[in-house]
Chain A
């Protein structure tokens, strides 16, 4: 009885705060959407809270603009981010398991090393990276945007922490007794256990790769390989494009819609995955 009253009050406060925060998050999407539905002339007249009727005209303009191949860019971004997320989570899980489940000589050294490179900003190697991939003949291709994510220290760290809390070694030993090979143990027993962690990290990696601007801007040269962030950034610099702000807003809208769809599809799975992780142990 005693605790019920303040709990009630706290509940109201919590709801109010959440609503305010949600409003802040959605407000920008709303403005973006509204502006994408208006023509440049409308936008010149000032802001309006109601959508206009130009969305389809704007969409058509976006689709027909060969200078900013937005849909091609989305496809490229999907390829890069999808592959990055897949290999980053798989190989990080592999590495984390390798360091968690086996006692080998260099184990401690390897772990310390990964922890040490965890905070290294990718930008510090950007210059050498650019020269390297040019020499390897991978300049202006999507591969150098994907392959380096095999070594993702922060994903590794998450996986490692997760393994510590959710993988009893007894399970692995049991598998060994059943005569299961090591890689098979990993793929068939460990990986499923790590599913929630993989889901969480997959979306994080996907998003950060989708949003990555610095490296692609250095590596990608030709129009048909550009990813979405490069297109958006060039858009910002294209002075003459500013004469059709409606089109610009629509381009941004088009650029973020796919990832929102992917997210909405996966979000349930992730939050369920998080709960799963909680029940363990």
Chain B
């Protein structure tokens, strides 16, 4: 009798638990989002210290954005992201595998883990500033290369498209590969040791073990890493902003979407910034959809299938 009553009560508790999250989201994200969308249909900016607008202009902001170089900046963002993300995820997977592989007998794992995570702690702005001075034409890197005779003239790292993009990629890689390693390691360690023992008995080599057991098992966390990396990529701002002084030099080839948004926000062009935000919102929606499709074939959050599989496999093992 008592317990039946409670059963009905319990499910309602769920609402209390999730209430703060939704209230906070509603106030700090949803209302601002609506506001942003509303102003995207207005001409509204500041000229000098005088405000112009808001005047309703319909879709004009959207159209003029399409006519601008927005798509080029989207491509820049994608390239900059890939340059950093591919090495990041590959190295992170390899390192995570190594760290949990007892047969490798890696010395000082603790030390390495601490060290590779370290760059993630420096704020992107400080890191970018450091890179900016170090890779400038008269900076330490050029001086070192000159003094050991590797080059005769200083390399203009930030003057070439390749150099700038590589540097942005390198920084993103350095900042995030340790983070991914730790996440993936947590996932690999979450796999039941029985599975590995079984695979050892079956004579799996390291590669087989990695591709047939580890990878499928850590798919939820891999998806998580991928999603956060995509969000991070779409939001890429601090690093190229500070490295190129907000200009996306050379030739605006390292101008990302958020830098573009920032330059509108800075000139207080609320209408244009609003329209750009809506585009970004749509893009993030599409990306999100694809990520789910790629990482989960059937169930919406993916982890269930993986958990089931893990259980099945561990039982089998």
Contact = CB atoms under 8 A, between A and B. Distances in A.
Interface string A121-147: 111111111111000000000001001
B110 interface: yes
Interface in A164-180: 164-165, 176
A197 to B, nearest CB: 9
Contacts of B281: 120-121, 124
Given A102-B10, A129-B28, A122 B103 contact: no
Interface string B8-23: 0011111111101111
Given A111-B301, A278-B189, A161 B224 contact: yes
Interface in B248-281: 258, 261-262, 265, 270, 273-274, 277-278, 280-281
A236 to B, nearest CB: 5
B126 A31 contact: no
B220 A116 contact: no
A83 interface: no
A24 B118 contact: no
Contact of A22 (B115, B127, B205, B300): B115
Contacts of B235: 121-123
Interface stretch (B62-70, B150-158, B159-167, B177-185): B177-185
Given A127-B32, A129-B32, A121 B10 contact: no
A142 to B, nearest CB: 14
A260 interface: yes
B14 A98 contact: yes
Contacts of B119: 25, 28
A254 B242 CA distance: 19
Contacts of B238: 211, 213-214, 229
B258 A123 contact: yes
Contacts of A213: 123-125, 237-238
B208 interface: no
A71 interface: no
Contact of A24 (B121, B127, B174, B278): B174
A207 B176 CA distance: 12
A271 B113 contact: yes
A170 to B, nearest CB: 15
Contacts of B134: 28, 31
Contact of B28 (A112, A147, A280): A147
Given A128-B35, A207-B120, A115 B220 contact: no
Contact of A91 (B21, B139, B300): B21
Contacts of A236: 125, 129, 242
A188 interface: no
Contacts of A127: 32, 35-36, 39, 265, 270, 273-274, 277
Contacts of A7: 103-104
Given A18-B95, A200-B186, A98 B16 contact: yes
Nearest to B281: A124
Contacts of A3: 103, 205
Contacts of A97: 17
B24 A150 contact: yes
A99 B262 CA distance: 36
Interface residues of A, number: 103
A220 interface: no
Would you call the interface of chain B mostly helix, strand, loop, or mixed? Answer: helix
Interface string A198-226: 00100010010011011000100000000
Contacts, number: 304
A215 to B, nearest CB: 10
B78 interface: no
Interface residues on B, range: 35 or more
Given A233-B242, A260-B118, A123 B237 contact: yes
B56 interface: no
B36 A128 contact: yes
Contact of B31 (A21, A132, A150, A218): A132
A107 interface: yes
Contacts of B273: 127
Interface in A73-116: 91-92, 94-95, 97-99, 101-104, 106-107, 110-112, 114-116
B138 to A, nearest CB: 8
Given A164-B303, A256-B126, A104 B15 contact: yes
A256 B115 contact: no
Interface string A17-36: 11001101110110110010
A95 B14 CA distance: 8
Nearest to B18: A98
Contact of B125 (A117, A176, A229, A281): A229
Given A25-B174, A119-B287, 12 more contacts: A17-B94, A21-B95, A103-B11, A120-B285, A128-B31, A132-B27, A200-B183, A229-B126, A235-B129, A271-B110, A274-B189, A278-B189
27 contacts: A7-B104, A17-B94, A22-B115, A24-B174, A28-B174, A31-B134, A104-B11, A106-B15, A116-B285, A121-B280, A121-B284, A126-B32, A127-B265, A128-B33, A132-B27, A132-B32, A148-B29, A157-B227, A210-B121, A211-B124, A213-B237, A214-B237, A229-B123, A252-B126, A263-B118, A271-B110, A274-B189
